[in-house]
Chain A
């Protein structure tokens, strides 16, 4: 059961993300991204991280993708994105570095000397567990993250909302090119 679920999710995620990076149309790739995010939350449920799974759906699919969608209003989204160069070297480079990354991540795992810093509790649910740790051990990072989000929100509003109705460019040649 778990195996089937994992492979289904994995293949689906890879497929949708491949569409994201290869599609010429922004709308397609954004839709694929949204589907990939939802599918990742499925993986989180599979990994007994229900809280994060929910957060993933809410934040990514609900907030991030919605933001992108709103941003798309400003851009000329119907137009195809310009074809970019696809060089073999670049593909090899990313493959190679990813393999190295796998190696690096698995090497410490091959040793059994890893011990849990904040072990999970079997008798309580994941959300409760996460909440306990988050509001005790990680309280200050949590607060900082909250402030950061606030700052980002204000920043985003100020930058995007400033003089929305006006063209801000200072050289006309730039556009004509």
Chain B
């Protein structure tokens, strides 16, 4: 029998993979992918909890997270294209204008 804990562990594993991607990758597009992975891992956890507690709140939140992810992609990609057109690459290491 699959328990809630199994889903949570899976979600956490996926989250870890996403976090790893965020830290390691320097290509901005890859960074976006890693972010999507993290969002999806959270969705899995929310839906699993929703199922095991028979509560729809988790699904609601997952739904809104999907909406947010979609808008994030739209805006993010727009910015990315703008950046690429200006600088010719999408390497995170070239984003150094925020120097303190």
A residues touching B (Cβ–Cβ < 8 Å)? 2-3, 6, 10, 13-14, 17-18, 20-21, 26, 29-30, 33, 36-37, 40, 43-44, 47-49, 51-52, 55-56, 59-60, 63-64, 67-68, 71-72, 74-75, 81-82, 84-86, 90-91, 93-95, 97-99, 101-102, 105-106, 109, 114, 116-120, 129-130, 133-134, 137-138, 141, 145, 148-149, 151-153, 155-160, 162, 166-170, 174-175
- In the complex, the answer to whether B56 meets A155 with C-beta atoms within 8 Å is no
- In the complex, the answer to whether B81 meets A71 with C-beta atoms within 8 Å is yes
B residues touching A (Cβ–Cβ < 8 Å)? 1-2, 4-10, 12-21, 23-27, 29-30, 32-34, 36-37, 40, 43-45, 47-51, 53-57, 59-60, 62-64, 66-75, 77-82, 84-88, 90-91
Using A102-B8, A105-B8 as known contacts, say yes or no to A14 and B17 having CB atoms under 8 A apart.
yes
- In the complex, the answer to whether A74 meets B84 with C-beta atoms within 8 Å is yes
A18 to B16, CA, bound (A): 10
- In the complex, the answer to whether A130 meets B33 with C-beta atoms within 8 Å is no
Residues from chain A with a CB closer than 8 A to the CB of B12 are 98-99, 101-102, 105
| Selected contact of A149 from candidates B43, B70, B85, CB within 8 Å | B70
- In the complex, the answer to whether A71 meets B47 with C-beta atoms within 8 Å is no
- In the complex, the answer to whether B21 meets A21 with C-beta atoms within 8 Å is yes
- Main SS of the interface on chain B? helix
- In the complex, the answer to whether B64 meets A141 with C-beta atoms within 8 Å is yes
A166 to B40, CA, bound (A): 36
Instruction: Give the distance to chain B from A117, nearest Cβ to Cβ, in Å.
Output: 5
Using A98-B13, A152-B75 as known contacts, say yes or no to A52 and B59 having CB atoms under 8 A apart.
yes
- In the complex, the answer to whether B16 meets A134 with C-beta atoms within 8 Å is no
- In the complex, the answer to whether A91 meets B20 with C-beta atoms within 8 Å is yes
Instruction: Give the distance to chain A from B41, nearest Cβ to Cβ, in Å.
Output: 9
- In the complex, the answer to whether A26 meets B30 with C-beta atoms within 8 Å is yes
Using A106-B8, A155-B75, A155-B78 as known contacts, say yes or no to A64 and B85 having CB atoms under 8 A apart.
no
- In the complex, the answer to whether B55 meets A120 with C-beta atoms within 8 Å is yes
| Selected contact of B30 from candidates A21, A90, A134, A137, CB within 8 Å | A21
Residues from chain A with a CB closer than 8 A to the CB of B48 are 47
Contacts A151-B71, A158-B78, A159-B82 known; 14 new A-B pairs at CB < 8 A: A3-B2, A29-B33, A36-B40, A52-B62, A56-B43, A71-B77, A84-B25, A94-B19, A117-B57, A137-B60, A148-B67, A155-B78, A174-B86, A174-B87
